[in-house]
């Protein structure tokens, strides 16, 4: 028996806003055997999804190791399949193509991958919908496609991150029964993250309860409920209700004091004039990668706007007031560095009436005088002339 082995797993983030390290998951050890269904349950923010992402290989652990059938996990791989909370389907692909996508990436022939895809589409109850697109399906049906896509690749471990959280209560119960039925038929190894106590007890063979952040394993409960499991049978079952109440008590009761663990030392900051090591929030923000990137974007945007304003002054004709009509408008010839296209004409129609085009210009009439500067700020406008002063086109 190998399965999934998690040993002394810890994940520490650095929070640039607070200027300190945050321990999300701490010293978690867990073993999941092949064909076992294990649910991870805990308060919001306790590190459940962080733990799942480390098992998936999306983020590296700070300390500890993760083994799947004896192989150390160092990144994403085809031996693990993830069903996300969002449906994560390709909107331009049909149900059949979505389910067969992983098989296609593995190089299977078209006939073989479609045969496997159809088998799992039938398994999740979507037979007859193979050629529908995701927007033609309900939320529950889209999530079934996501489950079928993972199962079709036959992963050694199936990871599910609150997959039924985005559907309504009745659909959620149907999907839970559907997943329980699939597990009874195929016995995939599943690590299931959820906030829902009743869902965890209904689906899993064991429930792992984490503490508040930093997330540590508080206890692991066996679920002695017989299978197959159906909601209509369990809602009044005394064993089920007692187990749900016990899990609720564990989640709400005060947790044991945490063992002190060695944490990375905070990054030292230069002392202030008074000798105290303090930094204001904006200094911490500008010292972060996000702050520096935002500063570069703001400087670039300001430089661009300043250059447009400078260019607008050079494009504006002098003494424009003398060409103003009694209605406060002017007629202009808008010069371009290239022949005008439909985009330029549609844009200029916002300022006045386009009466014609020339080889590299557009005739624009009845432009309100205050809006002339807006036209001059367009980067693709080379210059403006009063239409009465523009050279006439020979007949």
Q: In the listed set 207, 228, 252, which residue is the last one of a domain according to the structure?
A: 252
**Band of pLDDT at residue 198, cut at 50, 70 and 90:** very high
Q: Does the structure show a pLDDT above 80 at 134?
A: yes
pLDDT tens sequence across 34-82 = 999 999 998 888 888 899 999 999 999 999 999 998 899 988 888 898 8
The answer on 160 and 35 residing in a single domain is: yes
pLDDT at site 373:
83
CA 328, 332, 334, 339 torsion-angle sign:
positive
pLDDT at site 268:
47
Residue 130 lies in a domain: no
Number of domains in the chain: 2
The answer on 74 and 163 residing in a single domain is: yes
pLDDT at site 369:
84
Mean pLDDT score across all residues of the chain? 84
Q: Does the structure show a pLDDT above 90 at 170?
A: no
Which residues constitute the domain of residue 323? 316-389
Mean pLDDT of 340-360: 86
The answer on 248 and 327 residing in a single domain is: no
The answer on 161 and 241 residing in a single domain is: yes
Q: In the listed set 235, 252, 269, which residue is the last one of a domain according to the structure?
A: 252
Residue 109 lies in a domain: no
Mean pLDDT of 188-195: 91
Residue 41 lies in a domain: yes
Name the pTM for this structure. 0.61
Q: Is-contact 386 324, C-beta < 8 A? A: no
Residue 265 lies in a domain: no
**Band of pLDDT at residue 255, cut at 50, 70 and 90:** low
Residue 150 lies in a domain: no
pLDDT at site 301:
85
Using alpha carbons, select from 125, 131, 98 the residue that is nearest to residue 113: 98
Residue 394 lies in a domain: no
Mean pLDDT of 365-375: 86
Mean pLDDT of 25-29: 91
The answer on 236 and 161 residing in a single domain is: yes
Q: In the listed set 233, 252, 271, which residue is the last one of a domain according to the structure?
A: 252
pLDDT at site 264:
46
**What three-state secondary structure class fits 329?**
strand
Residue 105 lies in a domain: no
The answer on 160 and 233 residing in a single domain is: yes
For residue 236, the domain's CATH number is 3.40.50.300
- What percentage of the chain reaches a pLDDT higher than 90? 28
pLDDT at site 371:
86
Residue 121 lies in a domain: no
Range in 285-294, 321-330, 355-364, 373-382 the model is least confident about? 285-294
The answer on 214 and 70 residing in a single domain is: yes
The answer on 353 and 229 residing in a single domain is: no
**What three-state secondary structure class fits 4?**
strand
**Band of pLDDT at residue 197, cut at 50, 70 and 90:** very high
The answer on 225 and 320 residing in a single domain is: no
Mean pLDDT of 268-283: 53
Instruction: Check residues 232 and 16 and name the one with the higher pLDDT.
Output: 232
Angle at 230 between CA 224 and CA 234, to 5 degrees: 55
The answer on 179 and 63 residing in a single domain is: yes
- Per-residue HEC secondary structure of 29-54 comes to EEEECCCCEEEEECCCCCCHHHHHHH
Using alpha carbons, select from 166, 77, 163 the residue that is nearest to residue 124: 163
Strand order in the sheet with 353-358: 353-358, 361-368, 329-335, 383-386
pLDDT at site 265:
46
CB atoms within 10 A of CB 73: 21
Instruction: Check residues 269 and 146 and name the one with the higher pLDDT.
Output: 146
Burial of residue 357, with CB atoms counted within 10 A of its CB: 0-12 exposed, 13-18 middle, 19 or more buried? middle
**What three-state secondary structure class fits 274?**
coil
The answer on 198 and 63 residing in a single domain is: yes
The answer on 246 and 169 residing in a single domain is: yes
């Amino acid at each position: 028996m190998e399965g999934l082995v998690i040993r002394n797993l810890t994940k520490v983030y650095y929070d640039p806003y607070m200027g300190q390290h945050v321990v999300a998951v701490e010293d978690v050890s867990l073993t999941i055997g092949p064909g076992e269904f294990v649910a991870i349950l805990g308060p919001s923010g306790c590190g459940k999804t962080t733990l799942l992402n480390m098992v998936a290989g999306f983020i590296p652990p700070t300390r500890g190791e993760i083994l799947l059938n004896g192989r150390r996990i160092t990144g994403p791989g085809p031996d693990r399949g993830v069903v996300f909370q969002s449906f994560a389907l390709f909107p331009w692909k049909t149900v059949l193509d979505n389910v067969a996508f992983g098989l296609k990436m593995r190089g299977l022939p078209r006939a073989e991958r479609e045969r496997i895809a159809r088998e799992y589409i039938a398994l999740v109850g979507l037979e007859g919908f193979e050629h529908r697109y995701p927007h033609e399906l309900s939320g529950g049906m889209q999530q079934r496609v996501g489950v079928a896509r993972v199962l079709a690749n036959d992963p050694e471990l199936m990871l599910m991150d609150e997959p039924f959280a985005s559907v309504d209560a009745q659909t959620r119960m149907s999907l839970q029964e559907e997943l329980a039925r699939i597990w009874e038929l195929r016995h995939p190894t599943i690590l299931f993250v959820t906030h829902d106590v009743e869902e965890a007890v209904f689906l899993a063979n064991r429930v792992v309860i984490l503490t508040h952040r930093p997330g540590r394993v508080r206890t692991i409960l066996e679920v002695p409920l017989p299978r197959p499991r159906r909601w209509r049978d369990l809602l009044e079952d005394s064993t089920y209700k007692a187990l749900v109440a016990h899990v609720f008590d564990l989640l709400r009761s005060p947790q044991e004091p945490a063992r002190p663990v060695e944490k990375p030392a905070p990054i030292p900051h230069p002392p202030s004039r008074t000798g105290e090591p303090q930094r204001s929030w904006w200094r911490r923000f500008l010292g972060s990668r996000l702050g520096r990137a935002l500063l570069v974007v703001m400087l670039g945007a300001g430089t661009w706007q300043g250059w447009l304003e400078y260019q607008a002054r050079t494009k504006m004709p002098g003494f424009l007031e003398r060409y103003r009509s009694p209605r406060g408008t002017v007629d202009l010839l808008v010069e371009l560095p290239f022949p005008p296209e439909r985009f330029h004409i549609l844009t200029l129609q916002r300022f006045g009436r386009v009466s014609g085009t020339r080889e590299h210009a557009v005739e624009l009439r009845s432009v309100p005088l205050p809006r002339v500067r807006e036209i001059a700020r367009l980067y693709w406008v080379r210059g403006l002339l009063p239409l009465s002063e523009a050279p006439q086109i020979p007949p």
